[in-house]
Structure formats: structure tokens, C-alpha cells
Amino acid sequence: MKIILAIDGSKYSDWAMDLLLKLPLVKEPEILVMHVVDLAMFAHPLMAPSIAEEHRAAMRKAMDERLEMAHRLTGRVVEKIKKRWKKVRPLIEEGRAAERIVTRAREEDSDLILLGSRGISNVRGFLLGSVSQKVATYAPCSVLVVKRRIRAVKRFLLAVDGSKSSEAAMRFIQSHFIPEPLQGTVLYVWDYPIHPHPESLMEQMIEERHGEPLKRAGFKTKTVCVMGQAAAKIVRMASDNKADLVVVGSRGLTGLKRFFLGGISHKVVRYSHESVLVVR
């Protein structure tokens, strides 16, 4: 499994690193610790020749200091990760953070990107909706957006709708996570007052399609079917079940092909208090 850990030195990227160390992964991953330095902020505007050279010298000094700090940061993180995972290497790139992370994930043929729900952009006013949202939207692989620090990964909530994306999310859990420490809830939400199937039959169908395969793989799960607005129910159920991780497909969860990440998955990433894994 190839993983990119995107860091920026904030507490949010510290949480992402901490979660990576606690993930119950089946196999030793290959980890790329990536820090993006946006040197565009050092571009100098038009100014009088008398002060232009002085300004350029100051900017070059600031750029050098920023790059030196980046090397120290990635070095510290790599050493911490090596206490558990051995295949780790640092990478410092220049450019726009979201663009460089997505491009690097494509070039590396990565399986997963981890990043904090804030930070990465190095702009204090940026919340989710900047780098984290862009990466979750455009990444060619699965993305884990980390919302808070947790003691251990013990409980997950898998939101399904019977789509191929739901199947992919289920297979990701089966393929990459060790079953023993995990307990899961398979959640299906329908947002219409009338459903074509009785609730008991619908729960049985979801259990057969998603719950039983997970149980055969060794995971302890329960299946829950509820009515309501999908994203809101997923977020609430994750909180009520004290889930450490919410797992959703990158599309679907609505049963309508026109909904992409900007629909249910996007809302879950945006509003969940728990970390969210968007599977592709």
C-alpha cells in the first residue's frame, strides 16, 4: 500500500501522522512524507528600482529559511514514523499544495493520501474547503481527512447505498485493515418517506451485501437502516456510535449518478467531527 502523508507542521498534520501510526494495516505500507512550500508568496510586486534589489535579497533569505524549515520538519516526521513503519521517505515540493499533492499521488500511483482537515495551505484563515477539500475532490486515490487526535482506531462506520462506490469502500476495509481490533456499523440511509422494500427486508439486503462479507473477513459488524437526510444521518450516527473513522465511497450514497463528491460524500467530509475516509 502506497501512502502519502501531507504535512505542514500544524497540529492538524500532527493528528494525521498520529492516526497513520495507529492504523491497523494488514501490510507494511510505503509512506511518502510530503511537504509543499508555496514560493509564490515570495514573489515581489512592481516597485521602484531603488528598493527592488533590497526586497529581492530579503525574499531570497525568507525562501531559504522556509526550505530549511521544511527539511527539518519532514526529517522529524520521518523519524517518528520509522518507529513503526520502516519504508518511509521525505519529499519537499514547491507550488500550490493541493495541486502538487494530487499530481504526486498520480505519479506515485498512490493508494491513499492522509492529511489534516485544516492547515496544509499555510494560511490561517483557510478551513476545510481549501486544500483538504480539493485533494478529497480531485485525488486519483482514496483520501483520509483527519479531524482530531484519537487514542486508537477501534470503531468504524461504513455508509453504503448499494452502489459500486459502496462496494469499493467495503473492499478497502477488507483488503487493508486487520479485523481483530475493529468493530463496525454498516449504515444505509434512505431519504424518502416511502421505500420500495419493507424495512426488515431492506436491512436484510444490506446485511447480505455488505455486513456478511465483512463478518466473513473477521470484522465484527452490525447493520443499521434509517430514514432521513443522508449526510446528516451519517454524521450523527458516527458521533452516536463514537466511530473513530467514517468510511464512504467517493460517489453515490444517493443512488443518483449525477451526484459526485460535491454531494453526500463532500458534506460528510465537511461536517463530520470524526475522521473521514473517502474511497475510490
| CB-neighbour burial class of residue 193 (10 A; exposed 0-12, middle 13-18, buried 19+) | exposed
Q: Which CATH architecture has domain 2-146?
A: 3-Layer(aba) Sandwich (3.40)
Q: Where in the chain is the domain with CATH 3.40.50.620?
A: 2-146, 155-279
Determine the pLDDT at residue 132.
Answer: 86
Domain over 155-279 is classified CATH 3.90.25.10: no
pLDDT, residue 163, reads 84
pLDDT of residue 40: 60
Rg (CA), the chain: 21
pLDDT means per 10 residues in the chain (280 residues)?
95 95 96 87 57 66 82 96 96 92 97 82 44 89 95 95 90 96 92 65 89 96 92 95 94 42 78 94
pLDDT of residue 275: 96
The pLDDT of residue 55 is 60
